[in-house]
Amino acid sequence: MRTPKSQRGFSLLELIVASTIGLIVILAATSLFKMGMDATFTVTQRAETQQNVRAAIELMTKDISLAGSGLPSGGLQLVTGGVVSQFACNQAGTCYVPNNTYPNSGAGTPNYMYAIIPGFNNGVQNAAVIPNAPGQINDSITSIYCDYNFSLSNFAFAFPNATTANVNLIAAPNPLLPNNILAPGGLQVGDLMLFTVSTPGNGRGPNGTSLVQNAAVVAEITGIPAGGGTINFALGDALNFNQAGANNLAAVSAAVAAGGGNAQTTVCRLYAVTYFLQVPAAGGTVQTPRLMRQVNGLNAVPVADNIINLQFSYDVINFTNGFVNANLANPIAAGQSPSLIQKINIWIMGESLTQAGKKSQSMYLATSVSARNVSFCNSFSSNAVVCQ
């Protein structure tokens, strides 16, 4: 018979030590895994926020950089029929920013259209509160320029009265440009039109010609009958541009008649683009704030979600001494003219859409935009500051 041999097993102490070491290894691996997941989530939040904010700031930069393109130097006086014209309002009468009338000129005359209209602490629709916005200061900005993407040089305009413009295709239209004002991307109700009449004079115009501006009028389209041969600018429009006072379409017609065959009429669609923040509510629940873009008298459209702060400051040339007053948050209140704005500084703060419980990421993105089409001031003149 075989002699039985004893086989030793693990003792209780050895089992406890081995289990402890195993648990430590598992906990360390779990901790590393969690740290990796947290880092991945953080990077995802920041990348998402940065992408959202960058898309918003690039679109704003485009509109702001075009401010003043096609406008008379220094802006223009709008119609003064007793009611001040508005911006950032739609055809239904909804105005998206609290203070939405055109400001005074330097002489105190109201209803003056500048290329850039600062909106200090005026940037949230209905003055809603954005809890995470630092200091609760949110600005709006309005940039105004001619739309040259839809050129109107193929058309001749006539003005039989103060509320109508007749539109006819010229004899030899450019085949590369629109031949109907109702073509895709064309004119629509709520659009602003700028009509400028010039005649030969002492001014310096394009291609070596001498031109003097006799009239510059802005009107809002209230109707375009089928076919696009007529544009109506009826009184009582949503933005109060069409009024029975000075600087309406009657002034354009008079300037054309006074100039005879020498009068030159240029027409463009104006874009008055306003950026502001909106806090929408749906089903009784307050939704995340978002950046909105509104053009002329049309409805506002969202640009980017979870934008919680929007601020601007302006570098403005002081007309008196020629020095630059930098980083003015409210140049109009400081007594400086928006027509002398040289640079716009933008700060936009976004919050991550993806959240882990109540944890979210927020970040600022800042940039500066040169207002290249606004008035230029020569502060090196020997006598005084000269602005053009």
> In this structure, are strands 281-282 and 362-370 parallel, antiparallel, or unpaired?
unpaired
Instruction: Tell me 29's DSSP state.
Output: H
Tokens representing 367?
């940039």
Q: What pLDDT score does 355 carry? A: 60
216 DSSP β-pair partners: 196
State CA 343 to chain mean position distance: 15
**Tens place of pLDDT per residue across the chain (388 aa):** 666 666 666 777 878 888 888 888 888 888 787 777 666 666 666 777 778 888 889 999 999 999 999 888 888 888 776 788 999 999 999 999 998 999 987 667 788 999 999 999 999 998 888 877 777 789 999 999 999 899 999 999 988 888 999 999 988 889 999 999 999 999 999 999 999 888 776 544 455 556 666 788 899 999 999 888 999 999 889 999 988 876 678 888 888 888 777 778 889 999 999 999 998 876 555 578 899 999 999 999 999 988 889 999 999 988 777 788 889 999 998 888 898 898 999 999 888 765 655 567 778 888 999 887 776 555 554 455 555 5
Whole-model pTM above 0.95? Answer: no
For 61, the enclosing helix (H) or strand (E) is helix 12-65
Distance CA 302, CA 292 (A): 4
Tokens representing 259?
């100039």
Tokens representing 187?
């004119």
Distance CA 167, CA 384 (A): 45
Q: What pLDDT score does 269 carry? A: 95
- 3-state SS of 311-345 is EEEEEEECCCCCCEEEEECCCCCCCCCHHHEEEEE
- Report the C-alpha dihedral over residues 243, 244, 249, 255, rounded to 10 degrees: -140
